[in-house]
């Protein structure tokens, strides 16, 4: 088989690299992995290139012989975390590298993949919001009442998510409006159900808390991608602020309506079997929300179980930071083993695995402390976010040494 660059014109190669880069960026590929993929495909196409990406743009630069070079700024406006499409793009990338598919056909397939419908119906996605919020109560030591209330709040958030697909302005304000709706729902129903509205609000918002963005931003900084890392962390901070403001407004609106939930609610612990059930539900529901293909959902469940059990065991013997390090180490190693075994992107199982370890909930609580006037508690919580993120990123980086990644994705 002739070298790939022998059968592809220079412009065809450049166009394909840009089309693939935009699609990978859109569906959640971090800057470090995106650069590696684009460099590898460019090398196979005989193109000497360099890349620079931020959460909203990609810069391409090509050193073309006997020409002045070629550079382009590509803005990426639409973002959605769709791991099933990311897996299909990964397979296409493999086929191009192996020479199994011509560039012209591969470029057309990128368009087919990006325009494909979501892998799950809207009703299933709506249920997944409620299931994720209900399962999250396990992580905050709540009881049956909080599980029920968080599930209802999650369904309310899921309804807003479905509605936002039809109204672009609502999509742009999804975080603050979602936080307001969840907070208001828990305040209105807390007394009736005898549940803690604060705990149910945190569980109801767990899918919106940008813990993953914090972890990815810190990882990008550690891997020498400062522009993307700082921009991602700044975006996460703004999201936390919007969630905090929405939560406060929702609570105040509920109080204006005459509902003042009892903050001294006695929490009834869940039975022992609730935790494994909650982890299983969380694995499936997170897999649905992250649009993981059906064939990979059982692996998403395993990815949630392993780091959480290691983290839980570590807390009994070590500090919180050491336990998060160990959990992230297991999550990263498991995702790399999965990627090598199944020839699939490691993010499919890495993302659900680290979500329960990320410091987003702590960051949300720290802003709540600041807003309520407890400055010292807010500073302590914010400091804990930094330490937790450092432990998490260190664990992921060490896992890549113990079990090297399969390839760029």
391-404 per-position pLDDT tens digit: 888 888 888 888 88
Distance CA 339, CA 56 (A): 27
- Is the pLDDT assigned to residue 264 strictly greater than 60? no
- Is the pLDDT assigned to residue 13 strictly greater than 70? yes
Burial of 93 (0-12, 13-18, 19+ CB in 10 A): buried
- Is the pLDDT assigned to residue 191 strictly greater than 80? yes
Distance CA 367, CA 361 (A): 10
Q: Mean pLDDT across the stretch 134-158?
A: 88
Q: What is the pLDDT of residue 376?
A: 62
* Residue 194 Cα distances to 135, 206, 247, 265, 272, angstroms: 18, 21, 20, 7, 22
Q: What is the pLDDT of residue 1?
A: 38
Q: Mean pLDDT across the stretch 70-89?
A: 84
In which band, very low, low, confident or very high, does the pLDDT at 152 lie, cut at 50, 70 and 90?
Answer: very high
Distance CA 34, CA 58 (A): 10
Q: What tokens does 305 get?
A: 């179980």
Distance CA 36, CA 97 (A): 13
In which band, very low, low, confident or very high, does the pLDDT at 361 lie, cut at 50, 70 and 90?
Answer: very low
Q: What tokens does 392 get?
A: 């998490």
């Amino acid at each position: 088989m002739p070298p790939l660059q022998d059968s592809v014109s220079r412009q065809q190669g450049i166009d394909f690299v840009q089309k693939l880069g935009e699609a990978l960026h859109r569906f959640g590929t971090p800057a470090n992995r995106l650069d590696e993929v684009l460099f590898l495909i460019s090398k196979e196409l005989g193109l000497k290139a360099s890349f620079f990406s931020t959460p909203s743009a990609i810069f391409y630069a090509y050193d073309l012989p006997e020409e002045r070079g070629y550079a382009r700024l590509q803005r990426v406006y639409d973002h959605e975390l769709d791991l099933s499409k990311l897996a299909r793009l990964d397979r296409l990338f493999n086929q191009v590298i192996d020479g199994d598919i011509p560039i012209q056909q591969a470029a057309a397939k990128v368009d087919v993949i990006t325009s494909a419908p979501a892998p799950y119906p809207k009703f299933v996605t709506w249920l997944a919001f409620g299931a994720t919020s209900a399962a999250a109560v396990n992580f905050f030591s709540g009881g049956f009442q909080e599980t029920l209330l968080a599930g209802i709040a999650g369904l309310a958030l899921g309804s807003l998510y479905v509605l936002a697909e039809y109204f672009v302005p609502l999509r742009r304000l999804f975080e603050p409006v979602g936080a307001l709706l969840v907070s208001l729902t828990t305040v209105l129903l807390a007394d009736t159900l005898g549940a803690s509205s604060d705990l149910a609000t945190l569980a109801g918002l767990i899918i919106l808390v940008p813990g993953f963005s914090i972890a990815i931003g810190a990882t990008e900084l550690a891997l020498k991608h400062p522009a993307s890392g700082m921009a991602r962390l700044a975006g996460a901070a703004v999201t936390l602020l919007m969630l905090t403001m929405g939560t406060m407004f929702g609570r105040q609106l509920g109080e204006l309506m005459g509902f003042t939930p009892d903050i001294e609610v006695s929490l009834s612990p869940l039975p022992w079997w609730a935790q494994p059930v909650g982890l299983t539900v969380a694995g499936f529901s997170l897999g649905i929300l992250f649009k993981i293909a059906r064939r990979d959902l059982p692996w998403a469940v395993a990815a949630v179980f392993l780091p959480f059990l290691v983290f839980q065991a570590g807390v009994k013997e070590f500090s919180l930071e050491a336990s998060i390090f160990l959990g992230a180490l297991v999550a990263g190693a498991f995702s790399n083993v999965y990627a090598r075994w199944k020839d699939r992107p490691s993010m499919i199982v890495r993302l659900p695995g680290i979500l329960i370890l990320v410091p987003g909930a702590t960051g949300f609580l720290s802003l709540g402390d600041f807003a309520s006037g407890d400055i010292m508690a807010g500073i302590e919580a914010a400091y804990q976010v930094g330490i937790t993120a450092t432990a998490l990123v260190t664990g992921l980086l060490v896992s890549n040494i113990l079990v090297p990644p399969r390839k760029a994705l």
